[in-house]
Structure 1
Amino acid sequence: MAKRDYYDVLGLQKGASAEEIKKGYRKKAKELHPDRNTDNPGAEDQFKEANEAYEILKDAEKKAAYDRYGHAAFEGGMGGGGGQRPGAGGHGDFGSAFSDVFDDLFGDFMGGRQPGGRQRATRGADLRYNMRVSLEEAYAGLKKTISVPTSVTCTKCSGSGAEGGGEPTTCPTCSGMGKVRAQQGFFTVERTCPTCSGLGQIIKNPCSECHGQGRVERERSLAVNIPPGVETGTRIRHSGAGEAGMRGGPSGDLYIFIDVAAHPIFEREGVNLFCRVPVSMATAALGGDIEVPTIDGGRSRVKIPEGSQSGRQMRLRSKGMPALRGGGAGDMFIELAVETPVNLTHRQKELLKEFEDLSEENNPESEGFFKSVKNFWDSMKG
């Protein structure tokens, strides 16, 4: 039985372009695949026929020989077939041919192939910069210039990696695909091309400054804006301020991680501030006014109620930290710490002794505590 014309097999006109041949085979492969035609016993033979046609027409040299001599180019030792007649044994190089279509059908879904089948440039790495700020700086915000060691685009070759800014050439090993294939039985195994490291291109005359990388190591100065209200763990992203990409690829990002230093006066919880203020025993007992600092550098006057105890808290509204993304400010809480006087003079001791003798009914907390202790001991005796 005479062989059908390869162009007819793929539903193409003679002289079709490489792209048209690939599309024609893709369509036939999906239409005739045996897994989709279990009820059609002739589908497998038709599929093999389409595979054989594609194996010839996808190769520029074989296609030229076929266009000139037809099927005779691969029969009788004319040499166009490269030593093995396509379709020998009825199968042809099924793995090699079908893998092209498999890549087109599923490569994007699997993330395995870049547009156009090539990966000419790679994105630069993201960078991390740890910045410590004071609580006052976190309150007010600040603008600061930082120095970041990174890779920047080579100015000598404009990032191309080639001397004089020339263009890279297609890798001869992988034909620009960035991957090479090895046939193992029915399966085709893909690996990163060892010649171009997956880039799909090589540089014959590398730039003397960057040695073909398209980037060089430099310390880069960058002005950053730290907004008011940041706290430890806040992450600020600077798009495109990271490491330069390989051979003109896009730059990565810079992430600034904030660490707010501990403060000698204030403790922070979210947007609220806490300040522990010592007061004398007399002030706590008699009441009075005290001045306390605020995070903005100002002062606030606080009235101490008569008979205040240690641990008592008072709130100063909106004197805390600003919210990072707006929404006002937190509060500041004053916690009293009543101090016991030390290094008393003889006269002070006499006065305190006299005061204690007159204070049997002035210590409600002590009275309640010792009453509970007495009840505890009595229950233990029982």
Structure 2
Amino acid sequence: MSDDGIRSDWATKDFYKELGVAKTASQDEIKKAYRKLARANHPDSHPDDTAKHDKFKAVAEAYDVIGDAEKRKKYDQAREMFSRGGFPAGAGFGGFGGGFGGSVNVEDLLRDRAGGGGGGFGDLFGDLFGGGGRARARAPRATRGADLETTATIGFTEALEGATVSLRVSSDGACATCHGTGGKPGTQPHVCPTCDGAGVVTASVGGGFSMNETCPTCGGRQLVYDDPCPTCHGTGQGRATRTIQAKIPAGVKDGQRIRLRGKGGAGENGGPAGDLYVTVKVTGHRVFGRKGEHLTVDVPVSFTELALGAEIKIPTLGGAPVTLKVPAGTPNGRTFRVRGKGATKADGTRGDLLATVEVQVPSNLGAEAKEALEAYAAATDDTRLRSGLFQDAS
């Protein structure tokens, strides 16, 4: 915002009316009016009332100016200038007109102050608009809530189809006893005597410089209680545990991290809540495995089924079995693809089922089976299977 905009904004506000006092009111009357209005409209006492929050800010702004005798004097002078036609439309930064009886160069006035001269335009507005004096009264700053982390364990099928799970989340929040005020329930606060209700104090950092810092007495709340809350000991903070319902999307993978916006720690002074990050753990399945968007299954077969060919039934997850045609002479470990029987993709379609055939060698043979195998061995020359092995080894 330009300097000209700031002047017009501040100097045309009626701070006396905002505090409900006469222009001739004493400093004590102004302070008493401010404290009464600040207490009645403080955000800690009305956390959900935005109208009172706005009123509190306006009252604090007014008291910051006319609550200080020196600033009040300059404010009154500025109001008088404007009432006589100062800063006419189009005057900009070049000078005043109308009520000042001629052209006055603002830059010269500011330059006079920079050079050490007193009484210039800078003196009039420097303190009035934050150039000095005591710390500015202000409403507590809105703060975003903290991001939280948790884990959720779901079943294999839930990961494929999606699920809604209940999560218990613990986070720092407003004390359940005092609701964040820091005071003993039933007691009334009063304006902090250290910062005079500003929430900040001015500290010297050496070299003629100073900076504002949070008031150590009220912690920036601007109000204090003589009797602190017995639960949080006046901090206004507590540990809150709540249960939320989290929707886990279909197709989530083991170890995937999901962000739930606005489900984290609560914000302070009207600030937004943080986010909740959920790390998903997926339990295994007795039959099926997973490879990206595809499901996998190991299918036990016999040597004769691979050698002679066969039609075998294999299971699908949550559906009817399907028939897999195994051609004669199929090698052990071959993987067949059954389309559309896998995991759900992001676009709603499904991946495939990858079925790998694995020969099972019987541990016990009956007499008839053993005799048949011996006849087969006699009819074939198995030693040829390893002939290339010795040739390549030399």
Q: Report TM bin, short chain.
A: 0.5 to 0.7
**Could you tell me which residue of structure 2 aligns to residue 172 of structure 1?**
194
SS for the counterpart of 2:388 is: helix
Seen in structure 2, the aligned counterparts of structure 1 residues 300 and 179 have a Cα distance that, compared at 3 Å, is: farther
Q: Kindly indicate whether the alpha-carbon contact (under 8 Å) linking 1:135 and 1:262 is maintained by their aligned counterparts in 2.
A: yes
Q: Kindly indicate whether the alpha-carbon contact (under 8 Å) linking 1:99 and 1:188 is maintained by their aligned counterparts in 2.
A: no
Q: Kindly indicate whether the alpha-carbon contact (under 8 Å) linking 2:113 and 2:123 is maintained by their aligned counterparts in 1.
A: no
Alpha-carbon distance in structure 1 between the residues aligned to 2:259 and 2:187: 31
1:47 to 114, 118, 125: 114
- 1:183 Cα offset (Å): 3.5
Query: Does structure 1 residue 241 correspond to structure 2 residue 263?
Result: yes
Alpha-carbon distance in structure 1 between the residues aligned to 2:205 and 2:355: 76
SS for the counterpart of 1:15 is: helix
- 1:212 Cα offset (Å): 4.2
**Could you tell me which residue of structure 1 aligns to residue 357 of structure 2?**
336
**Residues 173-225 of structure 1: CA deviation (Å, up to 9, x unaligned):** 4863546431311544565543344x353432545555544454343122222
- 1:99 Cα offset (Å): 11
**Could you tell me which residue of structure 2 aligns to residue 317 of structure 1?**
339
- TM-score scaled to structure 1, two decimals? 0.62
**Residues 134-188 of structure 1: CA deviation (Å, up to 9, x unaligned):** 1111112222323223345456655444445967746734863546431311544
Seen in structure 2, the aligned counterparts of structure 1 residues 316 and 99 have a Cα distance that, compared at 3 Å, is: farther
**Could you tell me which residue of structure 1 aligns to residue 143 of structure 2?**
122
Percent of residue pairs bearing the same amino acid type: 31
Alpha-carbon distance in structure 1 between the residues aligned to 2:259 and 2:117: 53
Seen in structure 2, the aligned counterparts of structure 1 residues 50 and 274 have a Cα distance that, compared at 3 Å, is: farther
1:132 to 137, 140, 153: 153
Seen in structure 2, the aligned counterparts of structure 1 residues 220 and 171 have a Cα distance that, compared at 3 Å, is: farther
Alpha-carbon distance in structure 1 between the residues aligned to 2:223 and 2:360: 78
Deviation larger for 331-340 or 211-220 = 211-220
Alpha-carbon distance in structure 1 between the residues aligned to 2:264 and 2:193: 28
**Could you tell me which residue of structure 1 aligns to residue 308 of structure 2?**
286
Seen in structure 2, the aligned counterparts of structure 1 residues 13 and 277 have a Cα distance that, compared at 3 Å, is: closer
The residue type equivalent to 1:372 in the other structure is G
Number of residues paired by the alignment? 295
Q: Kindly indicate whether the alpha-carbon contact (under 8 Å) linking 1:157 and 1:165 is maintained by their aligned counterparts in 2.
A: no
Where do residues 1-382 of structure 1 align in structure 2 (5 Å cutoff)? 15-16=77-78, 46-49=113-116, 97=131, 119-153=140-174, 157-162=178-183, 163=185, 169=191, 172-173=194-195, 176=198, 178=200, 180-188=202-210, 191-197=213-219, 199=220, 201-205=222-226, 206-207=228-229, 210-214=232-236, 216-246=238-268, 249-323=271-345, 325-360=346-381, 367=384, 370-376=386-392, 380=394
- 1:279 Cα offset (Å): 0.5
Alpha-carbon distance in structure 1 between the residues aligned to 2:294 and 2:133: 62
- 1:308 Cα offset (Å): 1.4
Alpha-carbon distance in structure 2 between the residues aligned to 1:169 and 1:320: 66
SS for the counterpart of 1:326 is: coil
Alpha-carbon distance in structure 1 between the residues aligned to 2:340 and 2:390: 46
- 1:353 Cα offset (Å): 1.8
- 1:320 Cα offset (Å): 0.9
Alpha-carbon distance in structure 1 between the residues aligned to 2:144 and 2:182: 15
Seen in structure 2, the aligned counterparts of structure 1 residues 160 and 283 have a Cα distance that, compared at 3 Å, is: same
Seen in structure 2, the aligned counterparts of structure 1 residues 347 and 14 have a Cα distance that, compared at 3 Å, is: closer
Deviation larger for 309-318 or 147-156 = 147-156
Q: Kindly indicate whether the alpha-carbon contact (under 8 Å) linking 2:199 and 2:214 is maintained by their aligned counterparts in 1.
A: no
The residue type equivalent to 1:48 in the other structure is G
Alpha-carbon distance in structure 2 between the residues aligned to 1:328 and 1:214: 51
Alpha-carbon distance in structure 2 between the residues aligned to 1:285 and 1:244: 66
Alpha-carbon distance in structure 1 between the residues aligned to 2:192 and 2:239: 27
**Residues 1-31 of structure 1: CA deviation (Å, up to 9, x unaligned):** xxxxxxxxxxx996227xx9xxx9xx99xxx
Structure 1 unaligned regions, length at least 5: 1-11, 29-41, 61-95, 104-114
The CA RMSD measured in Å over matched residues stands at 4.2
Q: Kindly indicate whether the alpha-carbon contact (under 8 Å) linking 1:55 and 1:97 is maintained by their aligned counterparts in 2.
A: no
- 1:285 Cα offset (Å): 1.4
The residue type equivalent to 1:343 in the other structure is N
